[in-house]
A and B are shown apart, each in its own frame.
Chain A
């Protein structure tokens, strides 16, 4: 009986504390939602009400019909999907090589891979700018995809490498004897087994380019401008008094990552943690 009561108390404690944390973490985002549907008449109230008295979706309609938001949105989608796809292909190959082949310099290469993840973007901004300009890729989708892919690859490779390594080699040796070549082997044996890690890596690469700000800000002007840069400009400029539209845009921008995470959570966490700590 006593044990039962204790368990009950523990459950309620977990709910209570957990709920408080949820409130603290998510409150700012609830704020975004309610402001985006707040009528203009309630906008300048002080102190601000968390929940508006009436609801309007004007901000969303205006946002989509007027102004450049739709274009930014499409740019972000195109660039992020391309990055995820290309980064996946390249890093699967690289990670497989690290996990299965012995070749000189493997340790050094992997070290570079890990290091590159730590690099602050602002420290290589100007040389990178000159590279992009020399290639004629300033303000292009291709340019942004290539940069993001380059930056996603190290982490993706690292994570996949850890995962591939855990797959028994025997399976592949059997297939090799049956006359498969390395690519077939990768495609037919490794990929299905490593599905969680691949989903995690794809999500990572997508999010990296979806949320990236600094490079997009410096290397794009109009053609390839993505949402974060557009939002930041809007925040300072044209929407300065249109908080409803700004927050509607922020919400639309935040939804794909949240949806991806909620939908793929299981894979994401599993894949993320598999590579992170090796005891």
Chain B
């Protein structure tokens, strides 16, 4: 039905931009990961030395651990929170429709603005600590406290502990994660909401007639039915968590003592502050590999393998 080159005419312009601003830089990153390069002198081929260096780089392992820890906080919290928010909003009460709009506001707010606000709220004499003070609790300096959350929590009850098991996550990392959750939860809520609205009312009614209570309907009807959405939400959230940059850049700069330093931010500092471009590229390749695994899973789940069709 169409000329041989017609499709390329349609895809061409977009592909050109994608090639120049995405594919080429990406390939260049792969290439640079095998070189020593500081921008000013020509790259020198050094094989896999950059990767070997990462293996022995204590900071790299610290940052990797932070990133995984951060994902482990953010992803389950987002799945649970956004699911229950969607459940709450899955009805047609008038006020609820207004709520739905209000909920989404954090998502469209820039991370710079979010970071500025939260940094202010988190300040040691900010609003959060002012409220806590009302309850007789002296809040920490949220974004600058390297103590572990469990450690600090036990400390509230006068329990001192030396165990390494209580030192993670740092209060600062936890505080950064809270901002991510605040900002992203409504986004995933929308995906869940679409899922919930796709569940036939008859199914819920049938369960109810069989004597199932509200919670039982949720547990035995809604949660199993909505599983594909839960998978997609958790994978998108994981990928987003792995590439987090803005929160760290705006609020903590990776501190205190690298406890909020995440891979994406580490790569940035390596490349732009220390001009270790080759090493930064090697760490990028590592991060890309992790993300790629999740991306492929996501791709499968989203049904992207069914790509040819039509006229």
| Residues of A bordering B, CB below 8 Å | 11, 14-15, 17-19, 21-22, 25-26, 28-29, 31-32, 46-48, 50, 89-91, 93-94, 96-103, 106-107, 109-116, 118-128, 130-131, 146-147, 149-151, 153-154, 157, 165, 169, 172-173, 176, 182, 207, 210-211, 213-214, 218, 227-228, 231-232, 235, 243, 246-247, 250, 253-254, 257-258, 260-262, 265, 269, 272-273, 276-279
Contacts and interface: CB of A to CB of B under 8 A. Distances in A.
Contacts of A115: 292, 295, 299
21 contacts: A15-B95, A18-B89, A22-B99, A48-B130, A100-B310, A118-B298, A120-B243, A120-B267, A123-B29, A124-B28, A126-B277, A130-B28, A131-B25, A151-B21, A211-B111, A228-B112, A231-B110, A254-B110, A258-B109, A277-B194, A278-B302
A262 B101 contact: yes
Given A31-B127, A122-B264, A276-B302, A258 B307 contact: no
Nearest to A274: B194
Interface of B: 1-2, 6-8, 10-11, 13-15, 17-18, 20-26, 28-29, 32, 39, 85, 88-89, 91, 93, 95-96, 99-106, 108-114, 116-118, 120-121, 125-127, 130, 133, 182, 185-186, 190-191, 193-195, 228-229, 232, 239, 242-243, 245-246, 249-250, 263-265, 267-268, 271-272, 277, 280-281, 284, 287-288, 291-292, 294-295, 298-299, 302-305, 307-311
Contacts of A98: 11, 307
A243 to B, nearest CB: 8
A254 B39 contact: no
A126 B112 CA distance: 22
A111 B271 contact: no
Contacts of B309: 99-100, 102, 165
A154 B304 CA distance: 13
Secondary structure dominating the interface of B: helix
Secondary structure dominating the interface of A: helix
A279 B284 CA distance: 33
Contacts of B13: 89-90, 93-94
B100 to A, nearest CB: 8
Contacts of A122: 245, 264-265, 267-268, 271, 284
Contacts, number: 295
Contacts of A232: 112, 250
A251 B89 CA distance: 27
Nearest to B21: A150
A165 B310 contact: yes
Nearest to A96: B10
Contacts of B95: 15, 18
A112 B18 contact: yes
B24 A169 contact: no
Contacts of B294: 118
Contact of A25 (B25, B182, B194, B250): B182
A94 B10 contact: yes
A44 to B, nearest CB: 10
